[in-house]
Structures are given as structure tokens and as C-alpha cells.
Amino acid sequence: MIDATLQAIRSFEYWPEIGEGTVDTLIMTALSLMFTVLIGLPIGVALFLTSWSQRSERPLVARIQGWTYNTLSLLVNVLRSLPFLILLILLIPATRWLVGTSLGVAGSIPPLVIAAAPFFARLVENLLREVDHGVFEACRALGATTRQTVLWALLPETLTGLLAAITVTAIALIGYSAMSGVIGGGGLGDLAVRYGYQRFNTPVMVTTVAILVVLVQTVQVLGDRLVARLSHRR
């Protein structure tokens, strides 16, 4: 019985493709996560610095802040309200222009980043809102610039929250990257669509799903561990 199962697994002819798909998924997730954080973090900080609680006492500055906040917020909301699949299709020309193709791993990254960065930015904004007001007051009282306050106080104070937010975003990206398989995006999602959906190949479908579950689980556990280690000192 066991031998038969092992034999079946060994003789499963799609392993090379599944292996490749897994690697592609990992690369897509990792690269898009990196760009998501690079773009989403500053946007999140900008959203926070222009939000109500941070408005300047000078009317002109406050007005500029309000204008910036509304614009950024609208942009973030629009991008977040588009279903990912629609965004993928809408972005095809832009993706081609940016990376030369709308297919494969490279073609998946721009839409992934554009979908995930606004999401991550909101997470960052909310995290910063949770920072104790006293921390700002202390920084202002020390004569710190906004830059110093953000880099030396705010971000360190939210570090564990940021790691948790990155974990959540990474998992969302794994899910999105699978979806990009629908328009030829490569990776496990691509396999699932081509074999599982178009050719009714259930074993490939089940295997890709199992691998996705393992990936998500691994990312979550690693993220949690890291958060736990860094908050250990509290």
C-alpha cells in the first residue's frame, strides 16, 4: 500500500514542472514583496504624516497636508477596490512598457506590486496611528526633525508590527501570484490553470494547492517567530 503510493509519487511525471513553478512563485513573491515594501512603506508614512492627527498648526501647511492625504488616500482606495484579476488585465500595456512583457515571472511583478503596495501602505498607516502620542511629543520636545522622528523613533517602535504586516502582505502576494497564472503569469498558479483547469488534471491541481498551503504556512510561522524574537526583549 505504502510502496504503491510512493511508487505513484515517484512516477508522477509533472515534478520538474511543479518544481519550476514553485521556484517561480517564490521568486515572484520575494521580488514583488521587496518592491511592495519599498513603495508601500513611504506611502504609508506619507499617509500618516498628512493625516488628521499630524496636521500642522499653520493653515497653509495643513491645507497642503490635507490635499496630499486626500490624493494619496484616493489613489490607494481606487487600487484596492479593483479586483486583482481586473487590475492584471488593465495593467498589461503598462507592464509591457515597464518590463518588456506581460507574461511569465517578470510580467507578473508590476501588477503584483501595484496591487499589494496600497494594501501594505494602509497597514503601515494604521500601525503608525497606534504609536503612543507621547512618543511624538517626546521627539518634538527633543527638537527632532520629521525625518529623524520617523527613522529613529516611529519605525523602530512599530518594527514588530511592520514585520507582521510584511508577513500578511507576503501571504496575500502568494495568493495573488497564483491568480496571475490566469493571464500566463507563470508559477504554481499557471500550472494549476493549465493542467488542473484546462486539462482536468486533478493530481497536478491538488499538488499545487498543497504546495501553496505549505508556502503560506511556512511564511506565517517564520514571520511569527521573527516577531516573537524581536518582542522578546519587551
User: Which of residues 10 and 234 has its CB atom nearest to another protein in the complex?
Assistant: 234
Q: Going residue by residue from 95 to 134, which x/- string records binding to another protein, judged by CB under 8 A?
A: -------------------------------------x-x
| Beta-carbon-side half-sphere exposure of residue 154 (alpha carbons within 13 Å) | 27
Number of residues that make up the chain: 234
b/e sequence 199-229, b meaning 16+ C-beta within 10 Å: eebeebbebbeebbeebeeebeeebeebbee
Q: What is the DSSP letter of 39?
A: H
* DSSP line for 169-214: HHHHHHHHHHHGGGGT--HHHHHIIIIIITS--HHHHHHHHHHHHH
Residue 52 grid coordinates:
488628521
User: Which of residues 31 and 144 has its CB atom nearest to another protein in the complex?
Assistant: 144
Work out whether 138 is an interface residue with another protein (CB under 8 A): yes
3-state secondary structure (DSSP) of residue 58: coil
Among the candidate windows 88-96, 97-105, 153-161, 215-223, which touches another protein by CB under 8 A?
153-161
Work out whether 226 is an interface residue with another protein (CB under 8 A): no
Least distance from C-beta 41 to another protein, angstroms? Answer: 17
Q: What is the DSSP letter of 64?
A: H
Least distance from C-beta 126 to another protein, angstroms? Answer: 18
Output the CA torsion 146→150→152→154 (10° steps): 130
Q: For cell 525625518, what's the residue?
A: 147
Selected from 10, 60, 141, 198, the binder of another protein by CB under 8 A is 141
Selected from 8, 34, 142, 213, the binder of another protein by CB under 8 A is 142
User: Which of residues 12 and 137 has its CB atom nearest to another protein in the complex?
Assistant: 137
Least distance from C-beta 133 to another protein, angstroms? Answer: 9
Work out whether 57 is an interface residue with another protein (CB under 8 A): yes
Work out whether 234 is an interface residue with another protein (CB under 8 A): yes
Burial class of 83 by CB neighbour count within 10 A (0 to 12, 13 to 18, 19+)? exposed
> Using an 8 Å Cβ cutoff, are 137 and 62 in contact?
no
Query: 12-41: which residues touch another protein (CB under 8 A)?
Result: none
Work out whether 233 is an interface residue with another protein (CB under 8 A): yes
Work out whether 82 is an interface residue with another protein (CB under 8 A): no
Contact set with another protein (CB under 8 A): 57, 132, 134-135, 137-138, 140-145, 148, 152-153, 156-157, 159, 233-234
